[in-house]
Amino acid sequence: MKGRAGRTFPSSNGTIGAAFTLGQVVRTRDHATHQELITDMEALSLDEASQKMADAVASVAAIPILGPADADLGQEAGRNVVGVLYLDSYDEGAFGEDDMMRRVIEMAQTFFDSLPRASHTAAARIANTEFWVHASQRPGTSSPVPDPDTWQALEAVLEPPTADHLRQINFDFSDFTPVEDS
């Protein structure tokens, strides 16, 4: 909507929230109906704190990126979600094929494997900066964990990509132009 710069919502809402709290890839089943998808989105409280999903969306996928465990937060190894890659499509069954999803996951994995090198530019213009609140100061998550057994259109499948070297994904790009005094 006009005037909005971005949005945030509870970490367990929608497909992104399900992928975040489960630490698994969540996608629309291959032959799910649009009504089943709407029912699942309602059960995941998508509209509670975000915009309504576009009527034309027929397929969704959310791929969590797992970082190293944060002992300060009591996390299990491999379950620290540092980001979620979200995809949607107007095509039914767009993400239902395992081979295609594995290629997307592989592309994401390749990208995340390259990120540590991104800040090693000659001018050091790219930085993966830590969030303002240190991990040990983050509030605990008390979000309810979704139950994939209750879903009609969605399913939790496949192993997500890992970014064992990233504790956060918060890239800043600075492109300062040198100026000479005259």
pLDDT digits (tens, 9 = 90+) for 146-163: 889 999 999 999 889 887
pLDDT at 177 over 90: no
Say if 60 falls within a structural domain: yes
Domain count of the chain?
1
Confidence of residue 103 (pLDDT cuts 50, 70, 90): very high
Express as a percent the part of the chain with pLDDT over 90. Answer: 30
User: Between these two residues, 119 and 58, which has the higher pLDDT value?
Assistant: 58
Say if 1 falls within a structural domain: no
Say if 96 falls within a structural domain: yes
Computed over every residue of the chain, the mean pLDDT equals 78
- Residue 19, judged by CB atoms within 10 A of its CB (0-12, 13-18, 19+), counts as buried
pLDDT at 46 over 50: yes
Domain region containing 57: 14-137+144-173
pLDDT at 34 over 60: yes
Confidence of residue 120 (pLDDT cuts 50, 70, 90): low
Say if 178 falls within a structural domain: no
Say if 9 falls within a structural domain: no
Least confident of 18-22, 55-59, 158-162, 164-168: 164-168
pLDDT at 135 over 50: no
User: Between these two residues, 16 and 5, which has the higher pLDDT value?
Assistant: 16
Three-class DSSP labels, 118-136: HCCCCCCCEEECCCCCCHH
Q: What pTM value is reported for the model? A: 0.75
Instruction: Tell me the per-residue pLDDT of 48-82, one tens digit each, with 9 for 90 and over.
Output: 767 778 889 999 999 998 887 766 555 555 568 88
Say if 3 falls within a structural domain: no
Confidence of residue 91 (pLDDT cuts 50, 70, 90): very high
User: Between these two residues, 82 and 109, which has the higher pLDDT value?
Assistant: 109
Say if 159 falls within a structural domain: yes
Say if 167 falls within a structural domain: yes
